[in-house]
Structure 1
Amino acid sequence: MATILHLETATTNCSVSIAKDGEMLVLKENNAANYSHSEQLHIFIKEVLEEASLSFSDLDAVAISKGPGSYTGLRIGVSSAKGLCFSLEIPLISVPTLQSMAYQVDVKPGELVIPVLDARRMEVYSCVYDASYKEVRETRAEIIEEASFAEYVSDSKVYVIGSGAEKIRGALGHPNFIFDESLVPSAKDMIRIAFEKYQSNEFEDVAYFEPYYLKDFVLQQKKKKN
């Protein structure tokens, strides 16, 4: 028996789920226009436990969305997950954000799914997965051009999903690209990956684990008024 708490904070969607043996019990999430993780994350954690009639002592592990994504969002999620793991003395599981997004699409054999998250300026974070949700091409921060992903387009559909899909829609002209910018990372899609990792004892070192930022954080300073 494995009861796992899942935290997804890589984007504006503040999302928390709890599952037992890979089956979701409760999901709480809010995809606000602005980041609300610092206000809502711990409230959602408390609410999913209460609705599942569980307490912190019932948890066997905490799973965190590891990135890439928002620097601040990832820091908040990872700090919360590590705090719970330390205090409860339970393992930490990390779930690649783009891989969990890929599970939102029913991909048939021969088809591919490319989750893309909006990054700074003209860049996106992207990764390519096959119908088994295995990584075909590693995660990158890149500027999308007309030739991007050309080697993955043939006679089958290629699903381009996530907040970066709208940004790059105009650059990818092949008719087999199918875009859906409405899909966002969610804690419900972390469950399958986290449970498989729990079963195989694939845990992180709580003391040293860091989010997968992919890009260095750049502090945006306000201009001084004259």
Structure 2
Amino acid sequence: MPSMILSLETSSPVCSVALHRADDGQLVGQSELRLEKSHSSHLSVLVSQLLENTLHTLQDVAAVAVSDGPGSYTGLRIGAAAAKGLCYALDIPLIAVNTLAALARQVAAATVPTENLLLCPMLDARRMEVYTALYRPDGTEVLAPTPLILDETALAEQMAHHRLLCFGNGAAKLRPLVQDQSTVGFLAGIEPSAVAVGALAVEAYKRAEFRDVAYYEPFYLKEVYTTTPKAK
């Protein structure tokens, strides 16, 4: 009987896969690659190597989880296509995990919770904009995922009543704008990981929170803007 949850994380330049046991959530294995624009050519290889290294096959996979976004439009499309293809081929359910919630889960697992602490994952959305959300250490959502333009007033109301812990590849843009550093902490080196996606996916699997494989689309959060090259 299939007993594993395979998780894919492609929302950032890091291409990451993980395998968890569906019954108790134990991490069985993980693999990641840090190469720009490598997702389309390396994701399937990472999956195959992970299964081989952990002595499993695709027939052991009970569900596929994918990082839902927000994040890189191209990366999310690649992850969604791979996850849907596997679910179709294996006739197994699809689980979508919010990227910001997974980032918060990573930090919460290594953070001593305090009463007024809020976790603030931030993903770079170019220029002075980020994708962000706010969570309590127990995972409770305080501010739903949203695009946020950073300036001196960004998250000022939340900072007035809580201590924020900011992380992710967009957090560094906020740091020079914060006048009272005592209300905000910053963690460097926190990147999206399939391990955190899988941890949340195990919980969703037990609740049977599955997505429609035929109609699933990633959570882009913003419309994607494209430009037409100018004629020479």
Normalising by structure 1, we get a TM-score of: 0.93
- The match for 2:125 is 119
CA distance in 1, matches of 2:29, 2:210: 23
CA distance in 2, matches of 1:102, 1:222: 39
Residue 28 of structure 1 aligns with an amino acid whose one-letter code is: S
CA distance in 2, matches of 1:101, 1:11: 12
- The match for 1:178 is 185
- The match for 2:91 is 89
Offset, 1:173: 2.4
* RMSD (CA atoms): 1.6
CA distance in 1, matches of 2:208, 2:161: 39
Q: Secondary structure at the match of 1:104?
A: helix
Picking from 171, 174, 188, the partner of 1:168 is 174
Q: Tell me the percent identity.
A: 41
- The match for 1:109 is 114
Normalising by structure 2, we get a TM-score of: 0.91
Q: How many residues align?
A: 224
Q: Secondary structure at the match of 2:173?
A: helix
- The match for 2:67 is 65
Q: List gaps (5 residues or longer) in structure 1.
A: none
Is 1:206 aligned to 2:209, yes or no?
no
Q: List gaps (5 residues or longer) in structure 2.
A: none
8 Å CA contact 2:3–2:60 kept in 1: the answer is no
CA deviation string 1:75-108 (max 9, x = no partner): 0000000000001000000100000000222251
Runs of 4+ in 1 over 6 A off after TM superposition: none
CA deviation string 1:134-190 (max 9, x = no partner): 110111112012122122225753111001011221112222211124211000111
Residues 219 and 135 of structure 1: CA distance in aligned 2, closer, same or farther (over 3 Å): same
After superposition, residues 1-226 of structure 1 pair within 5 angstroms as 2-20=3-21, 21-32=24-35, 34-105=36-107, 106-110=111-115, 111-154=117-160, 157-175=163-181, 176-222=183-229
- Of 100-109 and 70-79, the range deviating more from structure 2: 100-109
